[in-house]
Amino acid sequence: MYSYEGMALFFNASSILKNALENPDLTVPYPTWEAYEINTQGRRTLHFFTFFGAIAVCWLVTASVDTMVLHLSNQLCHKLAILNNTLQVFGIEDGQREDLLKKKEVLPMQDYKDVTILRKSLEEHFHLMRLTKSLSQFLNEVFIYQGVNSMAVLLVCLYIFSNSNDLINDTVAFSGALVVVFLQVLTSCWSGELIKIRCEQIHFSLYNNQWYNADPKLRSSLLIMATYTAKPITLRGAYVFELSLQTYETFIRQAFSFFTVMYQFLN
């Protein structure tokens, strides 16, 4: 996670240094609009560092948000894995149960009777559903900005490559930006995919354990939990997209489709 932030920091620092070396007078090498005339060295210097400073802040804040999403998703996946291990103990005879408890990390509880395991698992599953919903609400707000930013940078890089006279040097110069852009959307989509996989494992464990040895009243409660876990918990971005690797694949395909259209119009 921290290597991702370091990569974003290195890319911004190297971009500022590269442009400063190529433009000793500190002029911004990109077309910009200003409300005042830049006709002195002091104004050019201020404009240069303001322009690249804003870009650096944008990238670093985005990287920090992505790191936080990865950290929260990792904690959720870990808790879902513990819940999955706990459900695998349900219905097993006492001797075998003790062996499994020594091998696997399970939810802490006073005793590991079937009724206690089921009650604790239901409480934990409801708690994790609320946490995942909170994370999904957060991603609803930030994913649209991640997607637009990544799409714009990716299209610009592809367009520069398509019109480059020195493809090798341009590839080296923009490789950092491309890696960060691809990782930016991948972090959210990969987090959603991991949570979805963990939820599917929980649903399978409800059937794969020795539920037939449990009390008939507990089986009905287990069936209710199996009904709720039949549909995996999913993260959503921008209130529309289900965050998964399939969404990431669609994003990459759409980016290259937009580039094809842009290339036809601008060339």
Give the DSSP per-residue string, 148-160: HHHHHHHHHHHHH
For the stretch 107-135, pLDDT in tens is 888 888 888 888 898 899 889 888 888 88
- The more confident residue out of 180 and 210 is 210
Give pLDDT, residue 79.
Answer: 92
Please give the radius of gyration of the chain, using alpha carbons only, rounded to the nearest integer.
Answer: 26
Instruction: Please name the residue that has the structure tokens 């206690």.
Output: 116
Contact 89, 106 (CB under 8 A): yes
For the stretch 169-179, pLDDT in tens is 777 767 777 77
Helix (H, G, I), strand (E, B) or coil at 236: strand
According to DSSP, residue 24 is labeled T
CA angle 55, 58, 62 (to 5 degrees): 145
**pTM metric for this prediction:** 0.73
Helix (H, G, I), strand (E, B) or coil at 80: helix
Cα 41 to its chain centre, rounded Å, is 42
CB atoms within 10 A of CB 104: 14
- Alpha-helical regions (H) of 114-244: 114-162, 167-208, 216-229
